[in-house]
Structure 1
Amino acid sequence: MKKIEAIIKPFKLDDVKDRLDEVGIHGMTVSEVKGFGRGGGKAPIYPGAEYIVDFVPRVKVEIVVPDELVHTAIEAITDASRTGHVGDGKIFVLPVDEAIRIRTGESGPDALS
């Protein structure tokens, strides 16, 4: 099993959710996050002043999938969240040693569905 964390632009969340649903991946955890990458944020100019906003708003989507669905999930997230502009986001894939459904006690991949 793998945990996939995707940091995406907030307005792309519904597209990512719909695309994951289309490929059979249901359920996710979503968090509002802030951060910056190589660009270092943005520098808006207001009348009489310029200031740096170091952190830009993003959404973090977290899913855990069986190994055989990792590439399908990555492709779905990438296709749905890509705008072609700077700041489209990042995807991280981490190993998951165990998953347990609290209600039933199911474990491993059975706990994911």
Structure 2
Amino acid sequence: MKLVIAYIQPERLNAVKQALYRREIFKMSVTNALGCGEQKGYSETYRGAQIEVNLLKKVRLEVAVNEDFVEPTIEGIIEGARTGRIGDGKIFVIRLEECIRIRTGERGLKAIG
């Protein structure tokens, strides 16, 4: 079992979800996040004051999958999120020790679904 975590551009979320749906990956968690990397933010003037914005809006996508779905999940995220510009995002894959479905008490592979 693995947990795939991706940070992507907010406007690419719909494309990523569609790419995952085509690969029969439907269960995910999505959270708004702030972050910066090579983009380094930008400066703007607001009411005469110079403001430096160095934390940009991102979306954190988390998908817990069985081993057979790790590569399709990664491929789907890349397909939907890639624009070829700096700031497309990052994907992290973490080993999951345990998964428990609260409703039924199922554990492991059955709980992920």
Both structures adopt the same fold (TM-score exceeding 0.5): yes
- Whole-angstrom distance in 1 between the partners of 2:51 and 2:93: 35
- Whole-angstrom distance in 2 between the partners of 1:88 and 1:46: 27
2:22 maps to: 22
- Whole-angstrom distance in 2 between the partners of 1:6 and 1:54: 20
Give the residue type in structure 2 aligned to 1:78: I
1:34-62, Cα deviation, whole Å (9 max, x unpaired) = 01012321223568654320100000000
Which 5+ residue runs of structure 1 have no aligned equivalent?
none
- RMSD over aligned Cα, in angstroms? 1.5
- Whole-angstrom distance in 2 between the partners of 1:60 and 1:44: 26
2:60 maps to: 60
The alignment-based identity, stated in percent, is 41
| TM-score (ref. length: structure 1) | 0.92
Alignment length (residue pairs): 113
Which 5+ residue runs of structure 2 have no aligned equivalent?
none
- Residues 8 and 89 in structure 2, CA contact (< 8 A), matched pair in contact too: yes
Give the residue type in structure 1 aligned to 2:94: L
